[in-house]
Structure 1
């Protein structure tokens, strides 16, 4: 096994503040513009050759972004100007586990100052073990990315089949509450620990409506929390609709059994074919929901707006035919995302162990580029 070395962050890599690039000065192109939260836009000119790593400097303090190609780092970031022979991906993963949020040097706005973090103590292995660790984590990240592309492609194909079938339907509308069940949920009292502590019931908030598919809960509540609140349980296949504030009009598909908050509505049918059709039909009709929203600063879609939505549905034979084509695609989406949940759990468990040296990649001293096997090191 290679030796691990103690040093400071300033000895390990060089950091520099990013560069101004107001939106009005950006020219459409293929170069990513990277801010404190990741890629925020595109430009026709690069400021830095990739691959590279940025850190959130203003907001998201210390949160890293890995950029594979050339890029433009904004002044809301710090970026690595010299990796000093270290593995780029290892540097990225190291920043993932470092807690730099306490180095806030701003008085009004949070700010990460590179001079404040230069003396931050770290412990890192030699280049060969860096590469081996990075390869283990890279293989997991890339498999997750492949699954995301598979899910996105399968979903796009299913949507195309929906749109093609939908074009042939004229005047065949039905009010949504005559086709499916519509519920609005609730939130158990936060003041009652019996509703939350050691919960086993999946519960989701409205932020989940922003997700491609919901494969895990926001939090867990107890059976007492479920019974003592207006939370409604929803089955896999339900369409979720954000009905308040920032997520109003956002939709997602539920892939688990879960209850929802008062800021999310759920729609589902007992018929799997109709359930799948309604998922795409509701997505296509979001504008018809949001145009009836009420409220001032906090816009809201009430339940009646959803139940009154006129949906277009094929007759039973055509719906069954459409479903025979799309069901395998939707099953592929669900399979890819469930697998990603397992892979992400594994990666998140391995990350701090590998980056601290508590787990070691076998034969890292001689394997510059190998997935390797992981063994415990105490």
Structure 2
């Protein structure tokens, strides 16, 4: 069964064998097709394979649904904002982007990292989440350099990205702004304003031919169209719940992925009974 093999390739059994084979040449570590064909896996019945796939697949399927929910909620929020401007342009006025939010630059918190404690959020973690190269540090930092679920981060160098943070509390590294709304503006609003400027900022960064592409603080002083207080309140009643729903979906997916990764080795090794795993997944989804 193809999906069973997919999960086996994510299992400790596969990686134990792959790691033993990957360094057999003078080239960069790799496992050849011939090596893959020589790997051995614990063969279980098709019924057992189907049960394992059903359990792990239910979690992956729910994660996929949550991803669509988050994307759809954000798209609906942006469409709602655009429609409000189209219908009532007089309720919007130009304002410097820097007047809508405080942009707090991260610092070089990867230096002398301890390997434990909070994740240090670099551009890689912002774009793809934690990986093998992710740095952890238990250094004490000021609150302004900590990011929590629901906060907005903006990478201003390299890969310019605007992202809603949904993982646990972490430390913001250099080349990333923590974006804090001013004057009680909702978080979704400053995120939308940034996204509306993102193509322009990326074009500016692309012109930095001799250095890593980036923008400068002065570019944050450029104007954006911001809604009046009354319009902001009206929009917040509609877009705020969409923002919260997207965040909730992302956070739920994170927990489901952690559960899937915890169940996978237990199921693949046969240490966890199918009936017990089904109950765990049923309670989770």
TM-score scaled by length of structure 1: 0.63
Once the two structures are overlaid, the 10-residue window that deviates more, 112-121 or 261-270, is 112-121
In structure 2, stretches of 5+ residues that fail to align are 281-285
What is the CA-CA distance between 1:202 and the residue it aligns to? 4.7
Cα drift, residue 292 of structure 1? 3.3
Matches within 5 A, 1:41-80: none
The residue number in structure 1 matching 2:283 is none
Q: In the alignment, does 2:247 pair up with 1:338?
A: no
Tell me if the contact between 2:104 and 2:144 (Cα under 8 Å) persists in the aligned partners: no
Q: Does 1:149 align with 2:61?
A: no
Q: Across the two proteins, how many residue pairs are aligned to each other?
A: 267
Question: Would you say the 8 A contact 1:198–1:222 is kept in 2?
Answer: yes
Please tell me whether residue 222 in structure 1 is matched to residue 142 in structure 2: no
Q: Which runs of 5+ in 1 are unaligned?
A: 1-86, 364-370
* Secondary structure of the structure 2 residue equivalent to 1:186: coil
Superposition pairs of residues 265-344 of structure 1, within 5 angstroms: 265-270=177-182, 273-293=185-205, 294=208, 296-306=210-220, 308-344=221-257
TM-score for both structures, normalised by structure 2: 0.81
CA distance in 2, matches of 1:90, 1:169: 55
Deviation for aligned residue 1:88: 2.2
Q: After the TM superposition, which residues 29-178 of structure 1 pair with which residues of structure 2 at under 5 Å, given as runs?
A: 87-97=1-11, 98-99=14-15, 100-104=18-22, 108=27, 111-167=30-86, 168-169=88-89, 172-178=93-99
Matched, 1:254 2:165: yes
Shift of 1:174: 1.1
**Superposition deviation, residue 297 in structure 1:** 4.2
Give the Å deviation of 1:272.
5.6
Question: 1:112 deviation in Å?
Answer: 3.3
C-alpha contact (below 8 Å) 1:181/1:269 kept by paired residues? yes
How far apart are residue 159 of structure 1 and its match? 1.1
1:207 corresponding residue in structure 2: 124
SS of the residue corresponding to residue 35 of structure 2 reads helix
Q: Which is greater in Rg?
A: 1
What CA distance in whole angstroms lies between the structure 2 residues aligned with 1:237 and 1:263?
Answer: 20
Matched position secondary structure for 1:173 = strand
What SS class does the counterpart of residue 296 from structure 1 fall into?
coil
Return the offset for 1:116.
Answer: 2.5
**Higher strand residue share:** 1
> Could you report, residue by residue, the CA deviation over 1:89-130 in whole angstroms, capped at 9, with x for unpaired residues?
212111111122543466546553232233323222222111
Map 1:343-362 onto structure 2 (within 5 A): 343-362=256-275
Look up the SS of the partner of 1:288 in the other structure: helix
Asked whether the 8 Å contact 1:184–1:303 carries over to 2, the reply is no
Higher relative contact order (CA 8 A, sep 6+): 2
Deviation at 1:314, TM superposition (A): 0.7
| Cα distance in 1 for residues equivalent to 2:62 and 2:127 | 23
CA distance in 2, matches of 1:206, 1:357: 38
Structure showing the higher helix proportion among its residues: 2
- Mapped to 2, the partners of 1:111 and 1:232 lie a distance apart of 38
Q: Could you say what the CA RMSD is over the residues aligned between the two structures, in angstroms? A: 2.9
Q: CA deviation at 1:318?
A: 0.6
User: What SS does structure 2 have at the residue aligned with 1:359?
Assistant: coil
CA distance, structure 1, for counterparts of residue 197 and residue 231 of structure 2: 21
**Conserved? CA contact 1:106–1:112, under 8 Å:** no
